[in-house]
Amino acid sequence: MLNNVYKYSLLVLVALSSLSGCNADENSVSVTPKNIMTVYKSPSCGCCEAWIKHMEKAGFDIRIEHPNDLLAIKLQHGIERDLQSCHTAIMNDYFFEGHVPVGEVKRFLTEKPADAAGLSVPGMPVGSPGMEMEGRHDPYQVMLVTKQGEKSIYSQH
């Protein structure tokens, strides 16, 4: 029964999208249960909220959690201290730590790099999504992290 409700809901979404003239672009993603992203953050963090809006605008369905011990969530997913930022997002058994641009999240989810655990933008670089500041954009890297904890540069911004 639930499966039929789900299929009907998808049909309605597809129909509504075609009626409204929506086209797939870099800011859209099909909404399926696998596109639900859980974001663990402090209740008072405004830059996290801005990043969440960045992801929602791109079509991701966000669930927000405010754990008592955010560090424990990070360590549970193997996110070492040098990779940590203010929030941790989990989706499809991958982590997205910090202010990872939506384009990199989408590319990662499409490519599904072998043995990958997730992506990280360590710290809180000015100019990254959610950390925008007029007139300033600091260079930063998106790091690819394997399940064994190996790190490599996924992209540079």
Whole-number pLDDT of residue 50: 94
Per-residue pLDDT tens over the stretch 29-49 = 444 456 689 999 999 888 899
Per-residue pLDDT at 149 exceeds 90: yes
133: DSSP letter: B
Per-residue pLDDT tens over the stretch 103-147 = 999 999 999 999 999 999 999 999 999 999 999 999 999 999 999
Whole-number pLDDT of residue 71: 95
Tell me the residue ranges of DSSP E strands in 21-67.
36-40, 61-65
Q: What is the chain's length?
A: 157
CA angle (121 as vertex; 118, 126 as ends), nearest 5:
160
Whole-number pLDDT of residue 46: 87
What is the share, in percent, of the chain residues with pLDDT greater than 90? Answer: 73
pTM of the model: 0.77
**Domains plus CATH for the chain?**
32-156 (3.40.30.10)
CB count in 10 Å sphere of residue 2: 6
